[in-house]
């Protein structure tokens, strides 16, 4: 066993008090994706799109990691000879707060904004305003949250592709398997010969691709699995 990929979705952060996207009280039930998470929406109404993320930012920044995030750190610390990469669709920073290493935010991060004129990325802990001036190109009104919208390419795809080709174990935690390309990673990992595990509250859209599906709260199910894996691989 050399390479493990852990793919996470909003379900891993649910027990830290953050809303998932498609559950009963999910983010996409109160907001249409088309209004707040597409390139077209941002072009049409940047004030509205920015205000959505300005509301979300402090909530995400104040959240604390749970045992799901923390047991990834334990895995990485106890299995130093194995490459354990964390590929997350989440824009919160709970993997960082839990001390995880090798984190790839393929859908961006809530604490950054990007200038759509010059590509400059800026750390942003406060609100992003639509008339702000980019410190690099001095053009105003072009800053958007550094979050991948529908219609944009996810980040780190080359790196993730390479990881998937060499993957021995693929673990998905808290994701519905609806949004591509992340939903297709399990298939690529399987082609590479990886063992595949899903830790989710409910069966997901691509459950049939997983060798094992462990249903329940990730903060309870994943730490147990991590403990067993450490024992198994430390023999």
118 or 178: CB nearest ligand APR: 178
Nearer to ligand APR, 31 or 190 (CB): 31
Q: Could you list the active site residues?
A: 107
Q: Tell me the residue number closest to ligand APR, measured at CB.
A: 11
Cβ proximity to ligand APR, 11 vs 223, nearer residue: 11
Shortest reach from residue 15's CB to ligand APR, in Å: 5
Q: If you search the block for the tokens 């979050």, which residue do you land on?
A: 147
CB of 77 to ligand APR, least distance (A): 22
**Largest pairwise CA distance in the chain:** 58
Shortest CB 7 distance to ligand APR, Å: 10
Structure tokens of 54?
């300005």
Which residues sit at the interface with ligand APR, rule CB under 6 A?
9-11, 14-15, 20-23, 26, 89, 107, 174-176, 178-179, 200-202, 204, 217-218
Cα separation of 173 and 168, whole Å?
17
Long-range own/partner contacts, residues 188-192 (CB < 8 A, 24 or more apart) = 188/161, 188/164, 189/5, 189/164, 192/164, 192/165, 192/166, 192/167
Backbone angles phi, psi at 83, to 5 degrees: -80, 115
């Amino acid at each position: 066993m050399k390479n493990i990929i852990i793919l996470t979705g909003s379900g891993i952060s649910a027990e830290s008090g953050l809303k998932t996207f498609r559950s009963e009280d999910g983010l996409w039930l109160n907001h249409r994706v088309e209004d707040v998470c597409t390139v077209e929406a941002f072009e049409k109404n940047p004030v509205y799109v920015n205000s959505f993320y300005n509301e979300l930012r402090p909530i995400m920044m104040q959240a604390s990691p749970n045992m799901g995030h923390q047991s990834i750190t334990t895995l990485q610390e106890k299995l130093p000879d194995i490459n354990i990469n964390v590929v997350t669709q989440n824009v919160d920073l709970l993997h960082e707060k839990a001390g995880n290493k090798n984190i790839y935010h393929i859908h961006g991060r809530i604490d950054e904004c990007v200038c759509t004129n010059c590509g400059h990325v800026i750390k942003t802990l406060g609100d992003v305003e639509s008339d702000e001036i980019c410190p690099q190109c001095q053009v105003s009104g072009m800053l958007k949250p550094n979050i991948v919208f529908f219609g944009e390419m996810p980040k780190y795809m080359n790196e993730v592709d390479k990881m998937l080709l060499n993957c021995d174990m693929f673990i998905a935690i808290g994701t519905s398997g609806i949004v591509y390309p992340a939903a297709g990673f399990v298939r690529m990992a399987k082609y590479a010969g990886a063992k595949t595990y899903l830790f989710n509250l409910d069966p997901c859209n691509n459950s049939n691709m997983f060798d094992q599906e462990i249903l329940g709260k990730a903060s309870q199910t994943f730490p147990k699995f991590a403990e067993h894996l450490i024992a198994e691989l430390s023999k």
